[in-house]
Amino acid sequence: MKVLKFGGTSVGSAQRMKDVAKLICSGDRNIVVLSAMSGTTNSLVEISDYLYKKNPDGANEIINKLAQKYYGHIEELYSTDEYKQKAKELVKSHFDYIRTFTKDLFTLFEEKVVLAQGELISTGMMNLYLNETGVNSVLLLALEYMRTDKNAEPDPVYIKERLTKLLDEHTDASLYITQGYICRNAYGEIDNLQRGGSDYSASLIGAAVNAEEIQIWTDIDGMHNNDPRVVDKTSPVRNLHFEEAAELAYFGAKILHPTCILPAKLNNIPVRLLNTMQPEAPGTLISNNTEKGKIKAVAAKDNIISIKIKSGRMLLATGFLRKVFEIFENYQTPIDMVTTSEVGVSVTIDNRKHLEEIVDDLKKYGTVTVDEDMVIVCVVGDLEWDNVGFEARIVQAMKDVPVRMISYGGSNYNVSLLVKASDKKKALQALSDHLFNN
Ligand code: ADP
Ligand code: ASP
Ligand code: MG
């Protein structure tokens, strides 16, 4: 059994849904995970914003526009009146439900329910389309098996048990359709796996059913060697190790949700990135194998803050780093990058919620300097320390870009550099030109 996940663009119009239907009807009994149609989750976020601001008229305007879009898709997608009617009833019931939230108190709880409607609609529509074309597909409701625990982490034991039971109830189905992104939390409330989280759903499902492969279908032919939204002339990387892919996803390669590699890696399930618009393209295979000794790709993580603590007392002092790290731990603020010298330490964070308190507390131990609007540029590949030369090539590429921090040695898979946000494009382009394009 394989798990095939299609992102928002891949199901973004009636024609795209028809194309996806062709791809998933290969005859194998696979699990298909769908995102909401593109733009939908953004609209649902916007509706929620209006409702938080107690502006039901603003919300209703977007709800009506979005609903009209869906009625247009229905006309194009289905060919029989019977299925047009079924789809209209489905879409109407979800929009009627969303409208009920314009009349009452709106909290985080209601927002999660509103955000869940996009995936519920797209999967319902796809399932109806498949049924209309004679495919014996079955909808598996993510809210019945996908769950997070009290730490908001997925609960793999529960997911496996419930999903296995649901699959056993539908052994006659030829295809399973389910929602990405949405789940219930430890208290049974509707929740989600964060924006872009459908990739995570797919890998959690893959792990739960011990899938033969997890396929992430999107709008580009695999993981490119640099961010195609920023840099000219990027090209697909054919093979990545799980660790390399995880670094790239964590450090900003939007094609993959940062957490989605871990469940696949733990269960040794290969992940293939494929292009819905060009299904015959080979894409990228992520597995335990890697091409040795090669720099594979570059990614960048935005909105980074660096904090330097300089203390004369660090010289030969034990416990200094522990005290510094403890402050970040006290404020539940994870650290991404660390560099040290004999007199100080620099770290980066991406969550500025407790920045003022953290800086106040750090001042006990030294002079504190903060740089905001920074970017971590991450160069990823098989970079074992006895492979000579890769650091030199990276530093040479960056010769005209001011670099605030450099970090290597935490793993064999990345070199991270901290630069100003205003230098991001220049840094990424320089790395592409030096590492891949000559
Ligand atoms: P989906 O809606 O299918 O989940 P996303 O928009 O989340 O798709 O991810 C695909 C997009 O990721 C691509 O269109 C591309 O612009 C962007 N992207 C960023 N970095 C990379 C990269 N290194 N390789 C490929 N795509 C990337
Ligand atoms: N629909 C959700 C989003 O737009 C989840 C996803 O597409 O992965 O963030
Ligand atoms: Mg995505």
DSSP assignment of 276-303 equals TTSTTS--EEEES---TT-EEEEEEEEE
Query: Which of 11, 16, 33, 35 to probe ligand 2 with, by most ligand atoms within 8 A of CB?
Result: 35
Please name which ligand lies nearest the alpha carbon of 194.
2
pLDDT bracket for residue 314 (50, 70, 90): low
pLDDT bracket for residue 290 (50, 70, 90): confident
Ligand 1 touching residue 37 (CB < 6 A): no
Atom of ligand 2 nearest to the CA of 194: 9
Atom of ligand 2 nearest to the CA of 198: 8
User: Is 80 exceeded by the pLDDT of residue 317?
Assistant: no
Report the pLDDT averaged over residues 340-347: 91
Atom of ligand 1 nearest to the CA of 9: 2
Give the sheet arrangement for strand 175-179, strand by strand.
137-140, 175-179, 31-34, 2-6, 213-218, 271-275, 284-287, 239-241
Query: What is the distance between the alpha carbons of residues 422 and 208, in angstroms, rounded to a whole number?
Result: 43
Atom of ligand 1 nearest to the CA of 216: 3
Atom of ligand 2 nearest to the CA of 35: 7
Query: What is the distance between the alpha carbons of residues 208 and 263, in angstroms, rounded to a whole number?
Result: 9
Ligand 1 touching residue 253 (CB < 6 A): yes
Report the pLDDT averaged over residues 262-270: 97
Please check whether residue 143 is in contact with residue 184, taking contact to mean a CB–CB distance below 8 angstroms: yes
Ligand 1 touching residue 154 (CB < 6 A): no
Ligand 1 touching residue 39 (CB < 6 A): no
Closest C-alpha to ligand 2, atom 5: 196
Question: What pTM, to 2 d.p., does this model score?
Answer: 0.94
By residue count, the chain amounts to: 438
Residue 194 DSSP code: -
User: Is 70 exceeded by the pLDDT of residue 54?
Assistant: yes
pLDDT, position 330: 97
**198 C-alpha to ligand 2 centroid (Å):** 6
Give phi and psi for 425, each to the nearest 5. Answer: -60, -45
User: Is 80 exceeded by the pLDDT of residue 36?
Assistant: yes
pLDDT, position 1: 96
**Ligand 2-lining residues (CB < 6 angstroms):** 7-8, 35-36, 41, 118, 180-181, 195-198
Reduce the secondary structure of 34-54 to three states and give it as a string: ECCCCCHHHHHHHHHHHHHCC
Phi-psi region at 196: left, alpha or beta (left = phi > 0; alpha = psi -120 to 50): left
pLDDT, position 264: 97
Ligand 1 touching residue 220 (CB < 6 A): yes
**28 C-alpha to ligand 2 centroid (Å):** 26
Mean pLDDT, rounded, of the chain:
96
Closest C-alpha to ligand 2, atom 6: 196
User: Is 70 exceeded by the pLDDT of residue 316?
Assistant: no
> pLDDT tens across 409-434, in order?
999 999 999 999 999 999 999 999 99
Query: Which of 193, 223, 254, 274 to probe ligand 1 with, by most ligand atoms within 8 A of CB?
Result: 254
pLDDT, position 315: 58
Q: Is the dihedral of CA 23, 25, 31, 33 positive or negative?
A: positive
pLDDT, position 342: 84
Please check whether residue 222 is in contact with residue 296, taking contact to mean a CB–CB distance below 8 angstroms: no
48, 53, 58, 62 alpha-carbon torsion, rounded to 10° = -10
